[in-house]
Amino acid sequence: MVRLGLGRDGCVLAFGGGATLDLAGFLAATYARGVPWVALPTTLLSMVDAAIGGKTAVNTPHGKNLVGAFHQPSSVLCDVGYLATLPDREVRSGLAEVAKTALLEGEERLSWVEENARRLTGRDPEALEEGVLFCVAYKAGIVEADELETGRRRILNLGHTLGHGIEAASGYALRHGEAVALGLIAEARLAELEGVAEAGFAQRVEALVEALGLPVRLPPDVTPRGVVPYLSRDKKTEAGRPRFVLLEAAGRVHDERGIPVPDTRVVEALERLAG
């Protein structure tokens, strides 16, 4: 950008998936102390998640997203037409975030995703557009109220506390959405074990994840116990202990700040994903 002579009146156009958006957004946040940027997401995951909310970051060998900035894009342009060339595995990875949003939003949305799972995995453009629209609207609403994640925005971490641990424990062999899908199941199980959700909730989440063509079991080289050390490395910890955002049911968050849970319970919940 320096060589190109970009001035403070310039603008960064970020065209690509979440990885590209994270990097380009971070460059825009830091170059000349900040220039505007526009997000043009081309993967489903980046349309429903990475492009919205203004979190930008670069990865370092010490961990994901440790170096980053909040910098809102001036606009976000989502065109599901780009998804025509996206590999199936990437489409499904994005659908995990769609499932997360539906779980957070409530029963009506969750039923819609359950009923339309086949259209979504078959990349029916109308279904994908509806999914993108409701995810963007939901996330934008939460972020608007709590841009810097001091409160309510934390609920967007649903499935991610364990998901990030699973992703790291797999050596990043899993796609982000695949790890989140597993995280959603295990956190639903955790909610059952904590007496927060009714029995059967984890089964419903698992059936949804499966219908969306996402994994419901850990890869063979990842054990429930093996995930635990990665949880305390997550930056969203307080005093080194992760806090879990748990659902009582679709659309009903138990405690928006998240609750701490003993490691033994966490392992028990992760057992749900074993073998």
Number of residues that bind ligand NAD (CB under 6 A): 21
- Marked catalytic residue, from 109, 154, 157, 272: 157
CA angle 25, 136, 107 (to 5 degrees): 145
Range list of H helices, 52-200: 88-105, 107-115, 117-121, 125-145, 160-169, 176-193
| Listed residue (54, 55, 41) closest to 13, CA to CA | 41
Separation CA 87–CA 8 (nearest Å)? 37
Among 18, 163, 213, 242, binds ligand NAD (CB under 6 A): 18
Residue 46 in the binding site for ligand NAD (CB under 6 A): yes
Residue 90 in the binding site for ligand NAD (CB under 6 A): yes
Separation CA 149–CA 144 (nearest Å)? 10
CB of 200 to ligand NAD, least distance (A): 29
CB of 15 to ligand NAD, least distance (A): 9
- Marked catalytic residue, from 109, 164, 204, 272: 164
Among 12, 14, 80, 93, binds ligand NAD (CB under 6 A): 93
- Marked catalytic residue, from 64, 90, 97, 254: 97
Binding site for ligand NAD (CB under 6 A): 16-20, 22, 42-43, 45-46, 49-50, 53, 55, 64, 82, 85-86, 90, 93, 176
